[in-house]
Chains A and B, each alone.
Chain A
Amino acid sequence: MSLLTVKGVSKHYNERIVALSDVSFAIEPGEFVVIIGSSGAGKSTLLRCINRIVEVTSGVVTFDGLDVGSLDKRELRKMRTKVGMIFQHYNLVNRLCVLENVLHGRLGYKSTWAGALGIYSEEEKAQALRVLRLVGLEEQVYQRCDQLSGGQKQRVGIARALLQDPKLLLCDEPISSLDPNASKVIMDYLKKINTELGITCLVNLHQVHIALAYAERIIGVKRGRVVYDGLTEHLTAETIHDIYGSEAGDLLLGSGGNHVG
C-alpha cells in the first residue's frame, strides 16, 4: 500500500490564483522523491496540502491509510506528528536554544500543558541528544539558535523533524538559503536519513542539478500541474526545458548556483 496518495488535488487561493490543478501521484514507503519546478509553480502549496497547513479546494490526500481531509482537529494533530517538515528559512524559535527547538518535535505527543510549559521526560531529552549527535550538533546543544550558521540551523530543523519519529519528511526547498557546501551537507543528511532510517522523503527543490544528483524519482510541476513523474534517468533535457521555460539553459549547463560568475 502507498504511504501517501494525492488524488485530483486542486488549490485556488482565490478566483484568479490557481496554485494547483488536478494533481495526482502516489509515494511508496522508503522512496526519495524530488519535486522540481520554477518559483511560483506550486511546490510549497503542494507540500502544505499534504499536512493540511493549506486546505485543498478539491481532491483527496491519503496518508498511511487516513483520509487527511476528513480528520478532526485531534486526529489531524496526531497525523501531523508522523509527518516531519523542513523549511527554507528553518522556522526555528531563534531566541530558544538548540535543545529546546529540537524538543518541539515532541509537542504533538504531549498533553497540552506539559507541552506548553516545556516539561519533557528524561527519555525525551535523551532522544533529543541522540538525534543531535546524528546531525553533528552535539557541541551546540545549549547554544541559542540565532548564533548558528544557516547550515547548522537547518540541521536543527532536521533534528526537530526527526524527534517526531516521522514516517514521511516534507522538505520545502531545504537548501535554497544555503551556500553550496552547506547545501551538500544538508542533502547528504537527508539522503542518509532516507537510506539508514528508512524515512520516506518528499523534497521540493528549485535547483535541477541537485535533484538529478540525489533523486531516484522526480516529479516536475509547472503552473500547478504535474508535467513529469518518473525515474530520474528518464528525465530528458526537453522535459526540463518544458518545466523551467527560459531558465532551463542556465540550470542545466552551469549546474545552477555552483558556478561563480
Chain B
Amino acid sequence: MSADYLIKKRSNTLKVLLGLGFLSLAAAFITQYDPVTGLISGLDAMRWVAANFYPNEQSLTRLPSIMNRLRETVLMSIAATTVAAFSATFFALLGAQTTKVNDALRLMSRSTAAFLRNIPAVAWAMILLFTFGQSSLTGFLALFFSTFGFLSRVFMETFDETTASSIEALTATGASYMQIIFQAVLPASLPQMISWMLYMVETNIRDATLLGILTGTGIGFSFALFYKSMNYHAASLVVIVIVVTILVIEYISNHIRRVIL
C-alpha cells in the first residue's frame, strides 16, 4: 500500500517533468527562439556593456540630481508600505479566523485582499495611469494596492498562527475584543508584521524603480531619461546607485530583523 503510493508519487513527478520539458520546447519553437543565438547575443551584450556602460567623470556631475530622484523613490516606497500596513492590519483582524468579528466581514475582507493581491503593481500602474496620469500619485497608489493585498494576507496568517491560545486565555479573564487585540494579538504578532513590512519596503523599492519608468517619476525616470538620450555613462551610474541602495536597505532590514525577532 505505502510502496504503491511512493511509486505513484514518483511517476507523477516524472510526468510533471516531461510536461515541463515539452512546454519549453514548444515555447521555443513558437517564438523561434534559438538557444545558441540567445547565448551569442548575450555575450555580445556583455561586450557592449564593458565598452560603454560605466560611469565616467562627466556623469558624476549628475549624481546630486540622481540622489534627489532616488530619495523620491525610496520615500514613496516607505510611505506606500506604511500606509498599506496600517490598512492591512485592520483588514487582517477582520479576516483572520481567530480575530474575526463575524463571518460576513471575514469573507469581505478575505476576498478584497485576494483580489488586490493578485494584480501586480505594474498592472495597477497601467490602470491608474488613465485616471491620474504620469504622477507620483499613480506610483504611490499602485504600490499601495498591491502591498495592501499582500500584507493583509500574511498578517491574517500571522494572527492565526501566533495568537489562538492567548486569545482564549484573555477571553476567559473577561477581557473585551479591543483589549484582546491590543494586549495579546498585536504584541505577539508585531515582530513578524514588522519583518513582513521590511520585506515589502525592499520589494517596493525595486518595483518603484520600474514603475518610475512608466509614471515618469523617481529614479526610474532618471534612468529612462539618460537612456533615451543615449547618455549611457549616466544611465550606468543610475543602475549602480539602485543596486547599492537595494543592498543597503537589505542590510538595514536584516539588522532590524535580528534585533526584533
Do A and B belong to a common assembly? Answer: yes
Count how many pairs of residues, one from A and one from B, have CB atoms less than 8 Å apart in the complex.
87
Q: Is the CB of A83 within 8 A of B172?
A: yes
In the complex, which residues of chain A have a beta carbon less than 8 angstroms from the beta carbon of B190? 95
Q: How far apart sit A110 and B173, CA to CA, in the bound complex (Å)?
A: 11
Contact B174–A108 (Cβ < 8 Å):
yes
Quick one: which of A85, A104, A105, A112 has the most chain B CB within 10 A?
A: A104
Q: Is B173 in contact with A81, judged by CB distance below 8 angstroms?
A: yes
- State the CA gap A108–B172 with chains docked (Å): 9
9-residue interface stretch from A13-21, A114-122, A183-191, A234-242: A114-122
Q: How far is the CA of A79 from the CA of B171 in the complex (A)?
A: 12
- Which of B175-183, B224-232, B237-245, B251-259 sits within the interface? B175-183
Contact (Cβ within 8 A) B173 A94: no
What is the size, in residues, of chain B's interface with A at 8 Å between Cβ atoms?
A: 21
- A91's contact among B169, B179, B182, B187, by CB below 8 Å, is which? B169
Closest-CB distance, A85 to chain B (whole angstroms): 4
Q: Check if B246 is an interface residue, CB within 8 A of chain A.
A: no
User: Considering the chains assembled together, what is the distance between the CA atoms of A48 and B51 in angstroms?
Assistant: 75
Known: A51-B172, A91-B166, A104-B173. A112 touches B183 (CB 8 A): no
With contacts A93-B188, A94-B188, A113-B178 taken as known, whether A53 is within 8 angstroms of B168 at the C-beta atoms is yes
Query: Once the chains bind, are B178 and A93 in contact (CB under 8 Å)?
Result: no
Interface positions of B from 31 to 84, Cβ below 8 Å from A:
none
Asked whether B165 is an interface residue with its Cβ less than 8 Å from the other chain, the reply is yes
Contact for A81 among B165, B166, B168, B174, CB less than 8 A: B174
Q: What chain A residues lie within 8 Å of B116 (beta carbons)?
A: none
Contact of B172 among A85, A92, A93 (CB under 8 A): A85
Contact of A115 among B169, B183, B187 (CB under 8 A): B183
B149-181 contact mask (Cβ, 8 Å, vs A): 1 or 0: 000000000000000011011111111101101
| Residue A217 interfacial (CB < 8 Å) | no
Main secondary structure of the interface of B (DSSP, over half): helix
Give A103 to B184 CA distance when docked, in angstroms: 12
A91 touching B176, Cβ below 8 Å: no
Report chain A residues within 8 Å CB of B166. Answer: 91-93
**Interface: B191 (CB within 8 A):** yes
How long is the Cα–Cα vector from A104 to B184 in the complex, in angstroms?
9
CB contacts under 8 Å to B, within A95-144, are 95-96, 104-105, 107-110, 112-113, 115-118
17 additional A-B pairs beyond A80-B174, A93-B183, A112-B178, beta carbons within 8 Å, are A80-B171, A83-B172, A87-B165, A91-B166, A92-B169, A93-B184, A95-B188, A95-B191, A96-B187, A104-B169, A107-B173, A107-B183, A108-B173, A117-B182, A118-B183, A161-B173, A164-B173
A-B contact pairs, 28 of them (CB 8 A): A51-B172, A53-B171, A53-B172, A77-B175, A77-B176, A78-B174, A80-B172, A81-B174, A83-B172, A85-B169, A85-B173, A87-B165, A91-B166, A93-B187, A104-B173, A104-B183, A107-B174, A107-B183, A108-B175, A112-B178, A115-B175, A115-B178, A115-B179, A115-B182, A116-B183, A117-B182, A118-B183, A157-B169
